Structure 1
Amino acid sequence: MSKVVDHLAELTGFRDRDVLDTTLAGALRDLLQPLRVAIHRCVGEDNDRRWLTRARLEGAEAAASADPLWVEFDSLPGLHDYPARVCAIETHEPVSVAGSPHVTVFPLFTDRDVAGVVEVESGGALDAEQQRLVASILRIYRNFQSLLDYSERDTLTGLLNRKTFDEAFYKLSSQTTEASAASSGERRQKNAAQQAHYIGVLDIDHFKSVNDTYGHLIGDEVLLLLSRLMRSCFRYHDRLYRFGGEEFVVLMRCNSDADAGRAFERLRTSVAAYSFPQVGRITVSVGFTELKPGDTPSSAFERADKAVYWAKTHGRNQVCSHADLIRRGELDDDSKVGDVELF
């Protein structure tokens, strides 16, 4: 019993979801002594969902392996390539597949949606007590995930909230800094292409008039529907935030300004074409910038925000790159970049 308690204490001691999944896999491996334990999550949209491996531990491995965060979506296996996993999700019950090894698949849920599955490979079928142990740990895991969602997500839209932004930003910024510090010119160019990250700031045009004309309940519905459009337009690993009011932020990886611009333009056109109940058509203005080595969250956000302000004061309903505005002479290059800002 003490061993179980120790693992539960470790499981609930982290706030990083990546570490949390790795800890869950380690706890189940130590408690069940299986041949392998893995956590697979469902990613993508309903018509094209795939399996992303979040943690995999075999035998006495000291560290879990996983799919890279930025893995190409099309390279992941399709949802229905693994019928037992789909069955576990649809029935909300564990599914056993006899064979060598024996595979037991447990559904993994959050309060909001299907998260994925925990897959345990063993020499034989898990007995009833072992299955109850796994189910109990997964209930605790789900409850802890719910607490994280409550503290990290906007209650209306379900997007990440403002206070989670800085930590995610510094993770991406550290990758950008490492890429720029590569020793050889060829390697530097290659890594920079692989590690180009962007921040985009999105603002709904004339949103105050929506609230004034239709009321805040309809305004909230617009925000909720917009968040759904954002999920459908961006990739599963892009980080989507609501900063408050009608202001949204996106952290994403692209190879160039042009690629980032196309992604934001896809969102802009989707929003402009969507008919919002009672309100009808709305538009959005977007500004974006590439993360630079040494950026702070405030310095990068300020550049993107300046691009948004330019867009809103020059016709709205458009996507503007901060770097492009600088090249055109529309903005002065006075952005603050550095690890320390003096006020």
Structure 2
Amino acid sequence: MSELVNRLANLTAIRDRDALDMALVSAISDLLQPETCAIYRVVGEVGNEHWLTSAQLAQGQLTPTFDAAWSSLDLLPNLNDHPLRQKSVETQTVQHSEGEPSVAVFPIATGVEGASVLEVRTAGQMSSDSLRLVTGVLRLYLNFLSLLDYGERDSLTELLNRKTFDTAFLKASNEQRLAAEVPLGERRATETSGSYWLVMIDIDHFKKVNDNYGHLIGDEVLLLLARLMRTHFRFHDQLYRFGGEEFVVLMRCNGEAEAFNVLERLRVTTEAHRFPQVGTITISVGFSEVMAGDTPSGAFERADQAVYYAKGHGRNQVCSYAALIAQGELAQHAENIGDMELF
């Protein structure tokens, strides 16, 4: 009992979602000694869904493994390749396999992040006590996950809020640096090349929306734009609302041209969308590549300069900081220190 209490206490001390997943599989592995214990997340658009490994621990392993956040979607297992997991997600019930080894799949309804499952493989059928133990630990995990969401997400749009940005930026920057240090021939097949890009998205003339239609309609515009962003960006892109009409994206792309095309499609989609009562809105977008040794404030300042240029030169456009520098439209400074305090 004391070991269980200690494991549960360790879970509730974690403030990082990825670390929480790894702690969950580690706790269940230590308590039940299964062959494998893993969390799999459904990613991708409807009709092209795949399984991403959030955390996996097998007997003999010291630490859990996981798929890189920027894994290539098409190289991940298809949703229907694992019917037991699929049925667990669809029915939101625990599913069991027949034969040996035994597989038990537990649904994890994680709300904003989409569906996930916990899969436990054991040499024999899990006992009723073990099933109740896993179910109880999962309930605690989900309750704590909801508390993390409450503190880390904007209450209106359910996008990530600004207080989580700094940690995510530094984590992404470190992942990018470590990936670049691995020789090309040793990289995992599910990983793809590319680098991180910081994006600022600002709604054009949003003050007029609030002035003409009221703040309730303004909030509806923000909510609908957030939904457009969710359907437009990929599963590993991180979407933030920084307050007011300002949105930020931390995404991974293979070069400036690909980043521009992704953002231009969002701009076109937004302009074509009909917002109730308001009609049409447009967005101005600025973006910059995250550099080696970058700081959040430095990258943010470059993207901010690009979006400021877009708003000052006609709005409703996507501007790259690097392209503006190359064209002589902006002057590059040794230190890009903005007036905006992020934290």
TM-score, normalised via structure 2 length: 0.91
SS at match of 2:49: strand
Displacement after TM superposition at 1:47 (Å): 3.1
* 8 Å contact from structure 2 (residues 301, 336) kept in 1: no
Displacement after TM superposition at 1:322 (Å): 0.6
* Residue 143 of structure 2: aligned partner: 143
Q: Could you say if the C-alpha distance between residues 26 and 243 of structure 1 is closer, same or farther in structure 2, counting changes exceeding 3 Å?
A: same
Displacement after TM superposition at 1:222 (Å): 0.9
Question: What CA deviation, in whole Å up to 9, does each residue of 1:8-49 have, x standing for no partner?
Answer: 011111111111111100111111111111110111223322
Q: Does 1:8 align with 2:8?
A: yes
Question: What CA deviation, in whole Å up to 9, does each residue of 1:258-292 have, x standing for no partner?
Answer: 11111111111111111111111110000001111
* Residue 99 of structure 1: aligned partner: 99
* Residue 79 of structure 1: aligned partner: 79
Q: Could you say if the C-alpha distance between residues 236 and 164 of structure 1 is closer, same or farther in structure 2, counting changes exceeding 3 Å?
A: same
Q: Could you say if the C-alpha distance between residues 221 and 47 of structure 1 is closer, same or farther in structure 2, counting changes exceeding 3 Å?
A: farther
Q: Which residues in structure 2 correspond to 1:104-115 (within 5 Å)?
A: 104-112=104-112, 114-115=114-115
* 8 Å contact from structure 1 (residues 37, 118) kept in 2: yes
Quote the Cα distance in structure 2 between the aligned partners of 1:112 and 1:29: 27
* Residue 341 of structure 2: aligned partner: none
Q: Which residues in structure 2 correspond to 1:199-214 (within 5 Å)?
A: 199-214=198-213
Quote the Cα distance in structure 2 between the aligned partners of 1:168 and 1:237: 12
* Residue 251 of structure 1: aligned partner: 250
* Residue 303 of structure 2: aligned partner: 304
Quote the Cα distance in structure 2 between the aligned partners of 1:35 and 1:236: 29
Q: Could you say if the C-alpha distance between residues 91 and 174 of structure 1 is closer, same or farther in structure 2, counting changes exceeding 3 Å?
A: closer
Q: Which residues in structure 2 correspond to 1:268-279 (within 5 Å)?
A: 268-279=267-278
* Residue 35 of structure 1: aligned partner: 35
Question: What CA deviation, in whole Å up to 9, does each residue of 1:289-337 have, x standing for no partner?
Answer: 1111222111111111111011011110000001111111111112526
Q: Which residues in structure 2 correspond to 1:188-207 (within 5 Å)?
A: 194-207=193-206
SS at match of 1:107: strand
* 8 Å contact from structure 1 (residues 294, 337) kept in 2: no
Quote the Cα distance in structure 1 between the aligned partners of 2:54 and 2:172: 18
* Residue 55 of structure 2: aligned partner: 55
Q: Which amino acid in structure 2 is aligned with residue 7 of structure 1?
A: R
* Residue 234 of structure 2: aligned partner: 235
Displacement after TM superposition at 1:91 (Å): 2.1
Quote the Cα distance in structure 1 between the aligned partners of 2:263 and 2:50: 24
* 8 Å contact from structure 1 (residues 92, 107) kept in 2: yes
* Residue 290 of structure 1: aligned partner: 289
* 8 Å contact from structure 1 (residues 89, 114) kept in 2: no
Displacement after TM superposition at 1:158 (Å): 0.9
Displacement after TM superposition at 1:164 (Å): 0.5
* 8 Å contact from structure 1 (residues 11, 23) kept in 2: yes
* Residue 320 of structure 1: aligned partner: 319
Quote the Cα distance in structure 2 between the aligned partners of 1:170 and 1:42: 25
SS at match of 1:48: coil
Q: Could you say if the C-alpha distance between residues 278 and 330 of structure 1 is closer, same or farther in structure 2, counting changes exceeding 3 Å?
A: same
* 8 Å contact from structure 1 (residues 229, 271) kept in 2: yes
Percent sequence identity over aligned pairs: 55
TM-score, normalised via structure 1 length: 0.91
SS at match of 2:34: coil
* 8 Å contact from structure 1 (residues 175, 195) kept in 2: no
Quote the Cα distance in structure 1 between the aligned partners of 2:154 and 2:47: 26
Q: Does 1:217 align with 2:216?
A: yes
Q: How many residues were matched structurally?
A: 331
* Residue 17 of structure 1: aligned partner: 17
Question: What CA deviation, in whole Å up to 9, does each residue of 1:237-270 have, x standing for no partner?
Answer: 0111100000000111112111111111111111
Q: Could you say if the C-alpha distance between residues 113 and 217 of structure 1 is closer, same or farther in structure 2, counting changes exceeding 3 Å?
A: same
Give unmatched runs, 5+ long, in structure 2: 187-191, 338-343
Quote the Cα distance in structure 2 between the aligned partners of 1:75 and 1:177: 23
Quote the Cα distance in structure 1 between the aligned partners of 2:197 and 2:170: 13
Quote the Cα distance in structure 2 between the aligned partners of 1:113 and 1:54: 12
* 8 Å contact from structure 1 (residues 197, 252) kept in 2: yes
Displacement after TM superposition at 1:177 (Å): 4.9
Give unmatched runs, 5+ long, in structure 1: 188-192, 339-343
Quote the Cα distance in structure 2 between the aligned partners of 1:222 and 1:179: 38
* 8 Å contact from structure 1 (residues 36, 120) kept in 2: yes
SS at match of 1:119: strand
* 8 Å contact from structure 2 (residues 302, 336) kept in 1: no
* 8 Å contact from structure 1 (residues 299, 335) kept in 2: no
Q: Which amino acid in structure 1 is aligned with residue 93 of structure 2?
A: E
